[in-house]
Amino acid sequence: MKILILGGTIFQGRHLVEAAISHGHEVTLFNRGQHGPQLYAQVEQLRGDRRGDLHALEGRTWDAVIDTNGYVPSIVRASACLLANRVKQYVFISSISVYLDVSMRGLNETAPISQITPEQVHEAEHILPPAKGIIARAYGESYGALKGLCEQVVEEVLPGRALHVRLGLLIGPYDYSDRFTYWPGRVARGGEVLAPGRKTRPVQVIDARDSAEWMMHMVEAGQMGIYNVTGLPESLTMQQILDTCKAVSGSDATFTWVDDAFLLEEEIQPWWQMPLWLPEDPDVAGINAISIARALETSLTFRPLAETVRDILAWDITRPAGAERRAGLTADDEARLLRVWTEKHIGPFGRSN
């Protein structure tokens, strides 16, 4: 098959390219050439900018396009309109962040999605995504609703010819966000590790290679529709993640578990400053319990967490020394928090308070 990938050089995009190549497909990349321009010399590279320069896509046809970097409706509409008569299938990578109410466990693809005002959309249209950084943070609270609007645009332009992939938290090699990568690296360094929240708190994640493989199978089968694609709901706990990181790395790490109240009192930013941690609140009780029943009925499978952790560690050590870490505690912040926690709960002289 001939597959066009919009983006393709960052995290999920890279795994999609590698999956497509391994399946024997003819791959074309379209991007600005700002990230990893040396990657994938064996595939066709088209240069352009989705904000007004799509000329390189004209006069060409593909079996499918995979849109890895569509965030605002007008930009997605431009590419969808140009490609409507040039592709058979439009795969739009969306997010489980689209859902309006995540207080309920087991949300499926029929659940209501978030809405925003035309004024908020207009404001988002003028945000320039960071050259380096986490896109979701750039769009803030509008991110999920914008993804939902983009889905609607694609469906409007290519009715019945779109596959909407609502991804959960992706993990694996090439994860520049450090939202999961922080933990294998931190545990591998050993010593006393600050661990957030309840040990048995569920965490729902998926290796980006598994989601990429699933998407390749769906493209090959010509499947359309909306699918939640993330890990098995409530099958993995924070303690299992940390224990796996320790077992794979062989470190001497010990874990000091601190509660939500302490982290909130210390004004620790959930998710980014403390990766994988969200304060347990009834309003977000379902965020790690999203239903993936529909995807499981197709070809979605999962590799062992230990394999993912091993491969993350192998990739992480290839990053340049001193590379910016976009999530996680600094060593100084972690040491301070551990000291404060110990003094509050054990006392400065090792006696229980």
pLDDT tens digits for range 94-140: 999 999 999 999 999 999 999 999 988 988 887 766 544 556 666 77
Looking only at the bridges linking them, the beta strands covering 192-196 and 26-31 are unpaired
Spatial distance between the Cα atoms of 347 and 342, rounded to a whole number of angstroms: 6
> Residue 82's pLDDT is what?
97
Task: Please tell me the class of the 2-344 domain.
Answer: alpha beta
Among the listed residues 100, 109, 191, the one whose alpha carbon sits nearest the alpha carbon of residue 155: 109
pTM: 0.94
Spatial distance between the Cα atoms of 51 and 179, rounded to a whole number of angstroms: 28
The domain spans of the chain are 2-344
> Residue 353's pLDDT is what?
47
Provide the token pair at 274: 């403390």
Length of the chain: 353
Please, what is the end-to-end C-alpha distance for the chain in angstroms?
Answer: 66
* Secondary structure class of 89 (helix, strand, coil): strand
Structural contact between residues 153 and 77, judged by C-beta atoms closer than 8 angstroms: yes
> Residue 33's pLDDT is what?
85
Structural contact between residues 94 and 80, judged by C-beta atoms closer than 8 angstroms: no
Q: What are the strands of the beta sheet with 64-67, ordered from one edge?
A: 44-47, 26-31, 2-6, 64-67, 89-95, 162-167, 225-229
Low-confidence ranges of the chain (pLDDT < 70): 128-138, 347-353
> Residue 176's pLDDT is what?
86
Provide the token pair at 191: 């010593």
